[in-house]
Amino acid sequence: MSKTAHPARPRSLEYTKYAAFARTHDLNGFLSNFKIPYKELNVYLMNKKTTSQLALFLPGLVSRMSENSEFFRDITAELRSGTKVFKAVITNAADPVLDYQASKRRIAAGEIADFFCAEAAKYDSARFIYNERGARLTVTADERGVKLSREDGLPDEPQTSVVQTGREYVVNPAAAKELLSEIGILAKNGKIKNDKIRKYNQIDYFVELMQGVLKELGDKDEYVILDAACGKSYLSFVLNFYLRELLKKKCRFIGVDYSQTVIDASKRIAKNLGYGNMEFIRADLNEYSPDSSIDLVISLHACDTATDMAMALGIRSKARAIVCVPCCHKDILKQYSYEPFRMITRHGILKARLADTLTDGLRAAYLEGCGYKVSMIEYISPLETPKNIMIRAVYTGRKNEKAMEEYGELKGLINVKPAIERYSRHGGRS
């Protein structure tokens, strides 16, 4: 064999390390000692232009890791030499840990990009995969340059079989598979449980109707949302997913309920999902006072006067918006009387239905008197649930004396003392 002819060399880790050495030392001496043609070396190694481009991309991934620490999963580097792939993985955004070459060590966030750039220079190509809940970014680097690609949601997941009721879901069950499995909506086969389809339809449509309220609240650095009588917190978890992982909005949730059982369950779910922005508190709604300003109070199907407690809490805490879907209406039913309607109200079923209308009407009137702009809509088909009226109230900044006067006249006319007024003024104490 001629001294100037060399057989093709396999791409190996040792070879690429030698090549990296050549970049910072006497290249001519290196090539002479190892008898490697320069053009062959250039094929096997990532060029300087690529490594320079890579140095511009990687700090962005690390910055995103810090900003989205609560739902960051990992950064996986796949470093390729020939047919071999060597992996390095970064986990734990708050205190980053590097798992590389069969050892783990802590690494400062500010050192991650430089470390990856230095290692990538030793290999033929590299791929960096950034994973967070709801999104994946991939940076690919080789002799042709650097490319960035992005995937939102979980596009590779099969679509979940559900009843769509003629509309597209705002939070697609396939994209929120991990969340919905954790809260018990999805079965192990990836389909929504039969007895949860109706519930999920209600929650998803509630979230959809929040879009208009959020627009009225305007952009904020962080939304603070209080779920009053939160129960199992299905609504809070799905709304949190929508805000954080679909809209990429910062938010904090406070769930309040009197039952320690549901509070403990909600805390466990939040921990399992890595939702550090959610807290759950066992408290009486009439006695609870939030420790920060509240943007939005929500409540879904809180029974009877629990809805009044939720609205009253929103009024007392000067929430910028209140959105509730009431459940049963027993309080006004037991109180009201109006002699001109005696021929109608002597029929129990008609008296109960009229009580439902009077209860929500009085709630809306009182909210208007307190300075809220109020709208009421049928938020879901009555085939799903007859308790389908949504009350939306957005604070205008000043009280409405005329509306409060009319409210007073109405309650006197039908001889009632609405719970919302009592709870707003005294927290339920007379």
* Cβ atoms 207, 245 nearer than 8 A: no
- DSSP run (H or E) holding 8: none
Supply 24's token pair. 């910072």
The phi, psi pair for 86, rounded to 5°, reads -110, 130
CATH, range 177-426: 3.40.50.150
Q: What is the pLDDT of residues 321-356, one digit of tens each?
A: 999 999 888 899 999 999 999 999 999 999 999 999
The Cα 109–Cα 130 span in angstroms is 14
The pLDDT of residue 46: 66
Angle between helices 234-241 and 197-217 (to 10 degrees): 60
Q: Where in the chain is the domain with CATH 3.40.50.150?
A: 177-426
Q: Which residue ranges of the chain lie beneath pLDDT 50? A: 1-44, 154-164, 429-430
The pLDDT of residue 335: 94
The pLDDT of residue 150: 82
Torsional class of 82: left (φ above 0), alpha (ψ -120 to 50), beta (otherwise): left
SS (H, E, C) 322-338: EEEECCCCCHHHHHCCC
Helix (H, G, I), strand (E, B) or coil at 282: strand
Burial class from Cβ neighbours inside 10 Å (0-12, 13-18, 19+) for residue 134 reads: buried
Strand segments, DSSP code E, in 101-200 are 103-106, 125-132, 135-142, 145-152
Apex 384 CA angle, 380 and 389, nearest 5: 40
Supply 226's token pair. 């209080």
- CA neighbor of 121 nearest in space, from 28, 35, 23, 10: 23
The pLDDT of residue 12: 45
Helix (H, G, I), strand (E, B) or coil at 252: strand
